[in-house]
Structure 1
Amino acid sequence: MARLPLLLSLSCLGTGLALVGGRALLARQPALTPATATDRLEWLQHWDADPWRRREASLLLAARSKDPQEQRQWLRGQAWGPDPLAALVLKQDSLAAAALDRPDTAEALWRQLQRRFPGDPASADALYALGGDDPGKRRQLLQRFPAHPAALAAALAAGPEPAERRRGALHLARWGARWPGAEARLRQVCREHGRALSAQQRGQLAEGLAELGDAEGALRCLGPTLNGLGASGRLSLGRALLAGDEPQQGQAEQLLLDLVRNSPTTPEAEAAVRLLAQQGSPAAAAALARLPPRWRDSAPVLARRILDAEPAGDGPHPGTDAAALELLRRWPLDPASRTLQWDLVRERLLAGRWRGAMALLEAIPTDQLPPPLAARQSFWIGFVQQQLGDGAAARATWEALLRRHPGGYYGWRAAVRLGRGDLQLGAGPHPPARADGPGDGSDWRPLASGDPSLDRLWRLDQRTEAWETWRHRRGRRAPEGSRELLLEGRLRQGVGDDWTGFGLLEQASLKLDGDQCALERELERSLHPLRFEAAFRAAASQTGLPMELLLGVAKQESRFTPAVRSPVGATGLMQLMPDTAAELAGGPVAEQVLEDPAGNASLGSRYLAKMLRQWDGDPLLAVASYNAGPGAVAGWVSPQLRSDPELWVEAIPYPETRLYVKKVLGNVWSYQQGGEPDC
């Protein structure tokens, strides 16, 4: 018996060394990912000597299964140890038990999760599940995990007592105004409980409504004064009012001017100045003239003055050009400088003022621009070089453009100018589009977030858990910079939210600089995924169109969101108007058909094929017609469409259609070529 403590100590030590050795062994083995074959995962789950590797295989198998009973079988015995993966096993086992209608088992697992891992994001789901009839647990959830989706869902469900509903609405306004259902709840609490709210609480609810673009609801919630509305709220309200009618725009301009005057050194003041500088009204110009001195000599304000001073007509504008060149050289990285540069360059290109355009194009070094703007600048430099008679320089510029930015609209136009290819619009084999559908592991790519725990969740195909963890950790802070925007965009895509994900990825592409080639490559892959492959392949086969053309239209129209509806009633992946759909189908089309990917893709491809036939296969005219209608496009046809199609596009009088044509056909080229930046 005297040796028993020694034997126990040696046994514990041996177990500990075995576990440490197991982790070291796991680190040397090829990492398990969603691309690992199922039979390989099953073998590892049963026979691998490393318990960590068995658990990883179990989680991947459970994520791959749709059967809750099978999920529980894979997860059995894997909730051991203090590792956060044990918390994830308990959460998934609880959800599977609930799906099998075993509430007692689910509750026991939730309680174990909360007891063992109270600070892990998975515990937010435990508090939500256990707090159905316990307001105390719900309040604990809101305090401990305020930005977690479980907390936002709990805030929306708060009640029925008025105090609980108010508390939930205020939580949503602060932590998740864009949460589904939050807007209606904010309006309801403002309307029904306004007298019970303090000025600060009214301001908090109003800021949430303003963030959602509901300027009128925000003003009703505030009452006769803006008391309780801070700088960020005033900025959101000003932005929302700018989207309204003329009186609301005037109200916004005064609100933004007051914000800059009262808080001149804040980030909100800078954003307010940029908003004011983007307005072209006399009132906005007057507001800019009344800004504090530090802002009157800023890039956004000076750029607005230069644009306002631009004389009409196609003649030389030496005064404007000189002022613009001075600003561009002084603030080459400012977004206002880049916008000014393109506005002036476009006018000079359309007027045939090649040397004036070239001077403005060369004022900002191309390598200081984000990839989309660098590609545009390179193409037009080559175009002007050709117009000035230097064909060799033009070819060299376009060749460099194709190497550095092979995709997109300007990659396509450079390839055409060089005789290196064109869009393939007929039926037949084309290079495969990138597959990147949620849950499809064959194309899995690391998240590369820099956070080992987040990267591990992504590697184990726990996309929802990765997104919720990220959301919890960030709280209210919006993503900043290209890396964070790319990361959040990919996480959003991972949980099926392409609508938000593509928006974030587009922002990321405009914040890249020339030294972020790895991010640029990842962005290119993430911006051109393959969605709803079966629906688009069937529609393409039906009409004889390439699938990439349908993908290019759908990405621009709906960001691959089947149920999205425009303010004028266009619905689904390819944004069809009900009347257009009825004409194509020979009778009324039910709403559920328009929201069905296969039905919408079929009708949209038929309309696109009709436009191509009408314009003899010209992609520029067909895609412009899809957006603006063939009647409008018929009035734009000119000889320039054949001689210089790029200038014809820039002359399209509708800015929305002009951008649409470039985006859609750039998408098609990127899908068909599949090239990545060479840097």
Structure 2
Amino acid sequence: MLEQEQTQPKPLSSSNPQTVSKKRWFLWGAGLGGLALGGITSAVFLVGPAKLPFLDQWFGAQLINSGADLEDSRPSTSTLALASVSPTDRAIQLEELANQGTSSLDRARARYLRAVDLIEQDRGGQALPWLDGLEHEYDVLAPHILAKRAQAQAATGDAAKAQATWQALVKQYPNHPKAAEALFHLGKTNSAYWDRMIADHPSHPRSVEIAVNRLQQNPKQLDLMRLLARHGVYLPDIGSVLDRLRTDYGGQLTPDDWEAIGFAYWEIQRYGSAAEAYAKAPPSAINLYRAARGAQLDARGTVATTRYQALVQAFPSEKETGLALLKLAELEEKPDKAIAYLDQVINTFPDRTAEALMAKANILQAANSPQTALQIQQQVLKEHSGSEFAADLRWQQAEANFKKGDIQAAWEWARQLAQENPDSVHAPEAAFWVGKWAAQLGRTDEARQSYEYVLANYPGSYYAWRSAVLLGWDVGDFSTVRQKTPEVERPATRPEPLAGSAALRELYLLGQTRDAWSLWQVEHTDRVQPTVAQQFTDGLIRLGVNDNLDGIFMLSNLSFREQPDEKQEVAALKHHLDYWQALYPFPYLQSIEQWSQQRQLNPMLVTALIRQESRFEPKIRSVVGATGLMQVMPETAEWVANQINLKQYNLEDPQDNINLGTWYLDFTHREYNNNSLFAVASYNAGPGSVADWINRFGFNDPDKFVEEIPFPETKGYVEAVFENYWNYLRLYNPTVSEKLAQFSKSHANLVNSRLGK
């Protein structure tokens, strides 16, 4: 974090937006290896973009004016619509539905949900009539109904009946995960049941719980530590268990044990330790890759090189080998040897040719061979025009020409990028700047068409929001967004998981997220390389239990799938509203609304900032100590607390954290006359830095100012926060959503979709 003058409070945000997540893009190894290569820094300009025959028809051919009807087509399910309502507020409605629901399923759901509420309110006796015989008409949750009946019986003090019901559950459903719950309760009076639970249901959270307890009593139990390494990765202290396994029992571990330990280390981002575990795991391509990649991330380049070479030798045609060769080139100090590795990629892995060519151009550029590097760049543009690396080149050229004042050339490069690389990460920005530069060139109609094109084709991007602003939409500009109080229309029912059993889906839809999570820990067995459906489901289940950081990570990281069939699955998933609303959730909404109203802040802007800062995690800490949802620095919290006379507070408490964070966000707004661009940038980099940038760059054009922010972290932070804001607006505000649907067919189809309905 930057040091501020002592008269100014320090910025609350101190973490790079890209490091908020505790995972990285190489979670599953091969295709997610974090392989972005440095851009071309040559001062030599490429030749101008080729004039394509259909260039002049580009805008008109792509614009969509759907005029689609936005009426919500999802069916209404009465009980499911109550899943997110508090037990107190839904009691009467549930009883009415239980007695006279529109369908037998709806009545069964209402009975179950009402019984659950009563049990949680310690009114087990009143719950029993609702559960009576329910397992016969609601068979999908029959084991769960027996478990709830046992809990209700225990709550009434009838221990004998509760024991009998638990016994019946084990007898009738011995292989069902819910049997582990029964064995857990039975084991309270007879520990033999716990032995059976661990043996028969090792992945169940109850088995993990018992293993932890037994290890506290006797730490020297290798089998229980093995169980935790495989099934207790979510435990906060799992790292110490893994360390003990390595140091105290290394000689007794099997290769499969080492693979499990490696994966667990990888999950908690201890990549150096993961590398050593994977080095002893069965020699698969992904295990060898992680053994090498982990060593590289641990700054042990020589070890990483040796292991990458072993992977190339053992698995010459696997996809991980292509990544290994690129990494070998990256680690190699001698240009000729690095180029030899890249030539192997070009000859053996055609899908990575463009990437290898660009790496080759970088090496030649650094070796003072700019003309050869330029030829390779032109080869990429010609032979791999649709690749992300060609898009990188085009955007570099657009920016370089803009900086030297050649707006026409910048416009041409950006336009070609948007045309040739419509799926590139640069495409929304390029299409937007086509409009900005067209306006500077006096072509106002073309500028308007460009902004409409961005809205039509990239409706979820930061540049869609900027386009809407420049088209005059009432969505809040940098100077007015603070005062907005947008209407929010939340979905009536939950999204439906795409993987897992029917029972898991039913529990999740009913809002029984903790039970769904427990069931998912047993059912989800493909954690290293999950399917698209499994990863989507995993994200939903994590969000359901407020594991928001990992939940959002799982959902957003679907975009990094590389296999063509998986990319198609992800593209299909993104056509559904469920995906986007899960990606942009509303945790802690009541606290956010309360403090936003008190500080006169747009609650969607506050939500957007929290999503970027912490992914809604109350206890997350950055490496410099920024804490909680709004990533409040302790010294800043103390300063703010003095301003508002707050004597006691806990930064890990959402109420306190949002109270302090919103006050500071109000402060940064007041510092800059309610300009939210400066306020949000100050939140990340500090008021002193922003004041310096205004003095250096001026403020004639906010979009140009954002581009000129010299801290890449803060530039990305500003764009991410306002992209979040725009997505909350387009997904939950009916007015903006309806207007956007007039320009974007994909958005119109989105709001009329609902997964599994």
Bin of the TM-score, shorter chain as denominator length: 0.7 to 0.9
Q: Which moved more, 1:663-672 or 1:560-569?
A: 663-672
Query: Which residue, 532, 552, 555 being the options, matches 1:502?
Result: 552
In the TM superposition, what whole-angstrom CA distance separates every residue of 1:18-55 from its partner, at most 9, and x where no partner exists? Answer: xxxxxxxxxx9956313386434212324569765432
Q: For 1:74-93, what aligned pairs fall within 5 Å after superposition?
A: 74-80=130-136, 83-93=139-149
Maintained 8 Å contact 2:275/2:293: no
Match of 2:682 in 1: 625
Q: CA deviation at 1:84?
A: 2.9
Maintained 8 Å contact 1:425/1:549: no
Q: Which moved more, 1:546-555 or 1:81-90?
A: 81-90
Match of 2:721 in 1: 664
Query: Which residue, 603, 614, 618 being the options, matches 1:562?
Result: 618
Whether 1:35 aligns to 2:82 is yes
Q: Which moved more, 1:458-467 or 1:179-188?
A: 458-467
Q: Which moved more, 1:516-525 or 1:649-658?
A: 516-525
Q: CA deviation at 1:77?
A: 3.5
Maintained 8 Å contact 2:381/2:390: no
In the TM superposition, what whole-angstrom CA distance separates every residue of 1:275-306 from its partner, at most 9, and x where no partner exists? Answer: 667x6884799557436441496343223334
Taking the aligned partners of 2:323 and 2:190, their CA distance within structure 1 comes to 43
Match of 2:123 in 1: 69
Query: Which residue, 420, 423, 429 being the options, matches 1:376?
Result: 429
Match of 2:289 in 1: 235
Match of 2:516 in 1: 466
Match of 2:318 in 1: 266
Match of 1:20 in 2: none
Match of 2:581 in 1: 525
Maintained 8 Å contact 1:328/1:341: no
Q: Which moved more, 1:208-217 or 1:345-354?
A: 345-354
Q: Per the alignment, in what secondary structure is the counterpart of residue 419 of structure 1?
A: coil
Q: Which moved more, 1:148-157 or 1:84-93?
A: 148-157
Query: Which residue, 471, 487, 494 being the options, matches 1:445?
Result: 494
1:461–1:226 Cα change, 3 Å: closer
1:75–1:469 Cα change, 3 Å: same
Kindly provide the amino acid, as one letter, of the partner of residue 62 in structure 1. A
Match of 2:539 in 1: 489
Q: CA deviation at 1:543?
A: 2.2
Match of 2:348 in 1: 294
Whether 1:546 aligns to 2:602 is yes
1:388–1:49 Cα change, 3 Å: closer
Q: CA deviation at 1:628?
A: 1.8
Match of 1:188 in 2: 244
Whether 1:597 aligns to 2:654 is yes
In the TM superposition, what whole-angstrom CA distance separates every residue of 1:566-586 from its partner, at most 9, and x where no partner exists? Answer: 121111110011011111112
Kindly provide the amino acid, as one letter, of the partner of residue 241 in structure 2. R
1:527–1:208 Cα change, 3 Å: closer
Q: For 1:191-590, what aligned pairs fall within 5 Å after superposition?
A: 191-198=247-254, 201-202=257-258, 204-218=260-274, 226=280, 230-244=284-298, 247-272=299-324, 282=333, 289-290=340-341, 292=344, 293-295=347-349, 298-308=353-363, 319=375, 321-326=377-382, 328-329=384-385, 332=387, 346=399, 349-351=402-404, 355=409, 358-359=412-413, 362-363=416-417, 365=419, 369=423, 375-387=428-440, 389-421=442-474, 422-423=476-477, 425=480, 430-433=485-488, 435=490, 443-447=492-496, 449=498, 453-478=503-528, 484-509=534-559, 516=572, 519-586=575-642
Q: Which moved more, 1:186-195 or 1:385-394?
A: 385-394
Match of 1:55 in 2: 108
Taking the aligned partners of 1:117 and 1:494, their CA distance within structure 2 comes to 26
Kindly provide the amino acid, as one letter, of the partner of residue 504 in structure 1. M
Taking the aligned partners of 2:465 and 2:239, their CA distance within structure 1 comes to 42
Maintained 8 Å contact 1:402/1:411: yes
Kindly provide the amino acid, as one letter, of the partner of residue 114 in structure 2. L
Taking the aligned partners of 2:659 and 2:575, their CA distance within structure 1 comes to 35
Taking the aligned partners of 1:632 and 1:48, their CA distance within structure 2 comes to 61
Maintained 8 Å contact 2:678/2:690: yes
TM-score if structure 2 supplies the norm length?
A: 0.72
Kindly provide the amino acid, as one letter, of the partner of residue 661 in structure 2. G
TM-score if structure 1 supplies the norm length?
A: 0.80
In the TM superposition, what whole-angstrom CA distance separates every residue of 1:249-297 from its partner, at most 9, and x where no partner exists? Answer: 55334433432342233343345456667x6884799557436441496
Match of 1:653 in 2: 710
Match of 1:439 in 2: none
Match of 1:637 in 2: 694
Maintained 8 Å contact 1:405/1:678: no
Taking the aligned partners of 1:336 and 1:68, their CA distance within structure 2 comes to 61
Whether 1:678 aligns to 2:748 is yes
Unmatched tracts of structure 1, length 5 or more: 1-27, 436-441
Q: Per the alignment, in what secondary structure is the counterpart of residue 80 of structure 1?
A: helix
1:82–1:635 Cα change, 3 Å: closer
Match of 1:123 in 2: 179
Q: CA deviation at 1:56?
A: 1.6
Q: CA deviation at 1:418?
A: 2.0
1:101–1:412 Cα change, 3 Å: farther
Whether 1:171 aligns to 2:224 is no
1:82–1:600 Cα change, 3 Å: closer
Give me the CA root mean square deviation: 4.2
Q: Per the alignment, in what secondary structure is the counterpart of residue 699 of structure 2?
A: helix
1:391–1:427 Cα change, 3 Å: closer
Q: CA deviation at 1:182?
A: 2.2
In the TM superposition, what whole-angstrom CA distance separates every residue of 1:424-450 from its partner, at most 9, and x where no partner exists? Answer: 756656223455xxxxxx732341637
Taking the aligned partners of 1:164 and 1:325, their CA distance within structure 2 comes to 61
Q: CA deviation at 1:169?
A: 2.8
Maintained 8 Å contact 1:203/1:228: yes
In the TM superposition, what whole-angstrom CA distance separates every residue of 1:596-651 from its partner, at most 9, and x where no partner exists? Answer: 11111111112112222222322222212211222333333367563443343233
Q: Per the alignment, in what secondary structure is the counterpart of residue 569 of structure 1?
A: coil
Taking the aligned partners of 1:664 and 1:289, their CA distance within structure 2 comes to 43
Maintained 8 Å contact 1:75/1:89: yes
Kindly provide the amino acid, as one letter, of the partner of residue 557 in structure 2. Q
Q: Which moved more, 1:303-312 or 1:123-132?
A: 303-312
Q: CA deviation at 1:490?
A: 2.2
1:467–1:56 Cα change, 3 Å: same
Taking the aligned partners of 1:185 and 1:54, their CA distance within structure 2 comes to 46
Residues paired across the two proteins, number = 636
Maintained 8 Å contact 2:535/2:558: yes
Q: Which moved more, 1:634-643 or 1:176-185?
A: 634-643
In the TM superposition, what whole-angstrom CA distance separates every residue of 1:432-471 from its partner, at most 9, and x where no partner exists? Answer: 3455xxxxxx732341637755443333333333344444
Q: Which moved more, 1:532-541 or 1:513-522?
A: 513-522
In the TM superposition, what whole-angstrom CA distance separates every residue of 1:123-155 from its partner, at most 9, and x where no partner exists? Answer: 233344445687875565556555443444455
Q: CA deviation at 1:519?
A: 3.2
Taking the aligned partners of 1:594 and 1:79, their CA distance within structure 2 comes to 45
Q: CA deviation at 1:664?
A: 0.8
Q: Per the alignment, in what secondary structure is the counterpart of residue 566 of structure 1?
A: coil
Unmatched tracts of structure 2, length 5 or more: 1-74, 84-89, 562-566, 738-746, 750-757
Maintained 8 Å contact 1:378/1:397: yes
Taking the aligned partners of 2:173 and 2:397, their CA distance within structure 1 comes to 59
RCO higher in structure (CA 8 A, sep ≥6): 2
Taking the aligned partners of 2:233 and 2:339, their CA distance within structure 1 comes to 31
Maintained 8 Å contact 2:669/2:679: yes
Kindly provide the amino acid, as one letter, of the partner of residue 294 in structure 1. T
Taking the aligned partners of 1:29 and 1:616, their CA distance within structure 2 comes to 46
Taking the aligned partners of 2:76 and 2:664, their CA distance within structure 1 comes to 52
